[in-house]
Amino acid sequence: MKLVVVLSALVALCAGSAIPVVPGDNSHYVEGESRYIWMPDGEGVPHLVDLQEPVDEDFLRTRNGANNQYWLYTRRNPTNPQVIVNGNANTIWSSNYAASRPLKVIVHGWNSDGNSAINPTIRDAFLAVSDCNVIVVDWRALANGLYATAASGVPGVGQHLGNFLVWLINTAGGNWNNVHLVGFSLGAHVVANAGRQAGGRPVRVTGLDPAGPLWSGNGNAISGNAGTYVECIHTDGGLLGIFNPSGNADFYPNGGRNPQPGCSLSTCSHSRAYDLFASTVHSSHLNGRLCGNINQAQNNQCSGSTLQMGNGNLSKRGNGLYGLSTGANWPF
């Protein structure tokens, strides 16, 4: 019997340490056990990540939230950003920022930058339906490092963002009841830390498939205390994304796991979260049904009251787990 136990342990160890060979295929991955996982960059190209790689402390000291860039877009400059520099009020006065408009903040994930697909996708959706200020946060200085190092630096990136938002509103005006923070993957945890740094004052915080690897049980992960209303959309739960409820309201389109309709790989399902969100900003047509428990959400067997998933409605409120079905192609 002891020999069987030892052999079983060795098999599990080897399986957990085995290097997967098919790019983007995370079918081997076991949360909390596997060492390697495929993660997409900002354009969806998969990269193999070693979750046991040591954090590069020297890199963190120079590549942190102090390097964040803040790119402002409005209907007057919908595609050409104006850079607002934290602490430099002149960069606000010379920009198209208007305190009377809602403020939307978008934060990308790992191995990405301000030009990565998530940003124009969501930026254009917001500007199409609302005369608003959109700030894209470019934190590539840290995000483009090793995954474990980038994940370790997420709280600092978020705290710098939170301080920037406090400075922006105190300097140029604005209303926290008009502030909506949106983050994808590691960016979901960034906006959560930003919201907490700002005293939970942002009226909405949206986490788009919040990153899962290295975030289970992490006190810096996205949670309901990041803003007045915190919503998470789970599309690759248990692999690249967190599956467990993480906000006031948690949506599980198509069960919240890979494969999402139209996807064959986990990397596609992970990125589907921001496409679904952008579509709901254009037209709030995806309605979740309240689930009695997480199993109902996973099996898409929810039949309770309805709540619209996503959208940019600043007065939206809700609690609980919600399941729904979507299509395979835009607008889903």
What residues are labeled active site?
185, 209, 270
Render the burial of 42-79: b for 16+ CB within 10 Å, e for the rest: beeebeebebeeeebeebbeebbbeebbbbbbbeeeee
In whole angstroms, how large is the CA radius of gyration of the chain?
A: 20
Instruction: Determine how β-strand 287-290 pairs with β-strand 306-308.
Output: antiparallel
In 151-278, DSSP assigns E strands to 179-184, 204-208, 229-233, 249-253
Look at residues 280, 245, 240 and name the one whose alpha carbon lies nearest to residue 260: 240
Residue type for 297, please? A
Q: Which residue has the tokens 């909390």?
A: 32
Q: Which residue has the tokens 């969100």?
A: 277
Give helix 266-282 / helix 118-129 axis angle, nearest 10°.
10
49 forms beta bridges with 37
Look at residues 266, 231, 318 and name the one whose alpha carbon lies nearest to residue 30: 266
Residue partners of 328: CB distance under 8 A and separation at least 6? 261, 262
Look at residues 83, 85, 119, 89 and name the one whose alpha carbon lies nearest to residue 104: 119
CA angle 54, 209, 211 (to 5 degrees): 10
DSSP classification of residue 211: B
